[in-house]
Structure 1
Amino acid sequence: MKKWWFVWVAMALASLGMAQQNLVKVNLQLKWFPQAQFAGYFVAKERGFFKEEGLDVTLLPVGDQSPIQVVQSGAADFGTTWIADLLTAREKGIPVVLIAQMFQRSGFTLVALKSTGIKDLCKDMKGKSVGVWPSGNEYPVVALFRKCGLTSSLDAKVSNPDVTAVSYPFDPALVFPNRVQLVSAMTYNEVDQIVGLGYDESKIDIFKLADEGINLLEDNIFTTERVLNTPNFKNSGLSGREVAARLIRASIKGWDWAVKNQAETVEKYVLPFCGNTCKGSGTRSDAKSHQTWQMAEIAKLYNAGATTKGWAGFLVPADYQASVKLLKEQGILTKDPPRQTVDYGPWEQATGKKAADYK
């Protein structure tokens, strides 16, 4: 009996070893440096949710590059990006496909010192300088300018713009408040950095673009038509669609866990990943405090909209159409994106739900 028991254990261990060897290698290109913005993916990796799906996922930090360029080149299989960036890339002929929408509300804001007297963006921005980000991250602000009927220096055809846009590389301390009166800031990152520069919340006004009708969602998961249509992804025996579905399923599991266990997520899974980027420039306290702030704000963006109805990762068609309509109205898009721009198939396979059933 003991002999057979040892044989069974040996076979089980051998099977486990083969399973480990047969994990499908996947590169997921993150939109920014490691931080709590990507907590769900860190959790999915470290708690084995990706592995349970047969995936060996490498999380690639991108810095200030465009994840779309990296995924298009084939250096990564999947990526995370903002919907405006994805839609404008698609109009340029880049065959990217949105397959899941993790954040259900935009975290994009403009921040001003109360002393500037800016109370209404559309009425008070004229004649002001506004800090904007490059590489496709400026689209929400461009949409706001145009929605307010204001010209900006981002348009080379305008000789005397209403608003001067100052492009800066993501550190508000470089331009705010000495060079610009308004500065781009995500609720989960730069807002805390600005407070850390000595401007606490009693001294600043935070204008959430979602409240201004510019709810261009951030942090979706995307890939390319090439990956989705691959019948044998990296000789794994799985189609690209099956790999996409597994990635989505594990990512949702990771995000659900991260949002429900924020303190442990920051301590165990965010801080070890983010290294030198944990603290951020100008933050008011240590790295742990900044990432705790970030995790709490990120949780608000994830745990909203469709997620609250049990449809995490789902791109609500009405939200998508509203984004397309807004970008077309502002001339950022010139036509409707092709039907293939959003593919609900992998999400449906991952969750067992049907997009048509959403209410």
Structure 2
Amino acid sequence: MKKWFAVLCTLFLLTACGANDNNDSSNNQKDELKKVTFVLDWTPNTNHTGLYVAREKGFFAEEGLDVDIIMPGDAGADQLVASGKANFGISYQEGITQARVQGVPLVSVAAVIQHNTSGFASPADKNITAPKDFEGKTYGGWGSPVEQSVINSLMKLEGADVEKVSIVNIGDSDFFTAVQRDVDFTWIYYGWTGVEAELRGEEINMIYPTDYTEKLDYYTPVIATNEKMIADDPETVQAFVKAAAKGYEFAIENPSDAADILLKAAPDLDEELVKASQEWLSPRYQDDAAQWGEQKLSVWENYAEWMYDNKLLDQPLEAEKAFTNDFLPTKENK
């Protein structure tokens, strides 16, 4: 009996040691991953799904990265990325264009969505179906000069007068509340707010700037880093973009599963909205591009030219320096 007891004790100790060794190995492996910070532009939503997929499915870890996804706070994503306080972040072609003209070294390394899916939304009963209908109406925005310029340029195409539009700043106000209380129309991403309107059974009219000029078909949003990161640590940039691409490719092929991953990371989100939004947005991540994330020089040039012509830039943009496709995965390194 004593002999068997000794054997059992030995087996228990060996098993325990093995378990400790495995735990130590797992912890050491995590410690060996390079810590990277990614800052969102807003609260988690389906623009960000591929990033959460890449983290949950281990795509970042496979590339040697431990990615912390954080909220922007008061500073904003562009400022945190430009200053190096975050390695990567969600940005917009508009923001990067303005930043670079001002000497801020932000660089877009991937387009999250291939075409501009934003536009001016209004309740159907307000009868705003074309830019000329903006006359006599109140627009609620976030206080950017770009908003008035876009409204003005669209109205000019129809011979309408932007001076007849009242423009007010509604900040972060909810679209549905604002259009019932304060304003007639505002600017939304259809993939989120438009889909929510569908679910709520509220009929809205959409006016997409891209229907009127290709110069307003720009990349929104994008994934950005800064020039110093690219110069000093291109391996990490390559690893991050490769893993993010796998995350978005998974979301393209598996919208329902990808939505579940986003909901796991952000359980306060409305499940029905996330699921519906993901179904709508997933095919639009890559759309007609050769691969997810790809950006074209012509898109950067067109929008910068439009901004310059509308006096939103002090000088022309060196568009070729504002973005790069160099870190997108190729067939060889996928």
Q: TM-score range by the shorter chain?
A: 0.7 to 0.9
Deviations 1:26-49 (A, max 9, x none): 001111101222110000000000
Residue 343 of structure 1 is matched in structure 2 by 324
Deviation of 1:142 (Å): 3.0
TM-superposed CA distance for 1:118, in Å, is 2.0
Note the residue ranges of structure 1 that are not aligned, 5 or more in a row. Answer: 1-5, 153-160, 231-239, 279-286, 354-359
Check conservation: 1:98, 1:220, Cα contact below 8 A.
Answer: yes
Amino acid across the alignment from 2:307 = L
Q: Secondary structure of the equivalent of 1:346?
A: coil
Distance 2:82 2:257 in 1: 35
Residue 142 of structure 1 is matched in structure 2 by 149
Structure 1: which amino acid aligns with 2:297?
P
Q: Are 1:90 and 1:337, in contact at CA under 8 Å, matched by a contact in 2? A: yes
Structure 1 residue 45 corresponds to structure 2 residue 55: yes
Q: Using the alignment, how far apart are the partners of 2:181 and 2:24 within structure 1? A: 64
Q: Distance in 2 between matches of 1:141 and 1:81?
A: 21
Q: Is the 8 A contact 1:97 1:224 kept in 2?
A: yes
**Cα displacement (A) at 1:315:** 0.5
Matched, 1:289 2:298: no
Which of 126, 130, 139 in structure 2 is aligned with 1:130?
Answer: 139
**How big is the shift at 1:324?**
1.6
Q: How far off its partner does 1:321 sit? A: 1.8
1:165 corresponds in structure 2 to 167
Aligned length: 311
1:47-103 CA distances to partner (integer Å, 9 max, x unpaired)?
A: 000000000001112367531012123321111111111111222221111111121
Q: Distance in 1 between matches of 2:101 and 2:23?
A: 50
1:212 equivalent to 2:192? Answer: no
* Native 8 Å contact 2:209 2:217 kept in 1: yes
Counterpart of 1:305, as a letter, is D
1:301 maps onto 2:288 in alignment: no
| Match of residue 282 from structure 1 | none
| 2:72 counterpart residue number | 62
Which position in structure 1 is the counterpart of 2:96?
86
Given that residues 119 and 189 in structure 2 are in contact (C-alpha distance below 8 angstroms), is that contact kept between their aligned partners in structure 1? yes
Higher helix share: 2
Larger Rg: 2
1:178 aligns with 2:176: no
Q: CA deviation at 1:333?
A: 2.1
Q: Work out the CA distance in 2 between the residues paired with 1:126 and 1:55.
A: 52
Distance of aligned partners of 1:125 and 1:65 in 2 relative to their CA distance in 1, 3 Å threshold: farther
Match of 1:272 among 261, 264, 280: 264
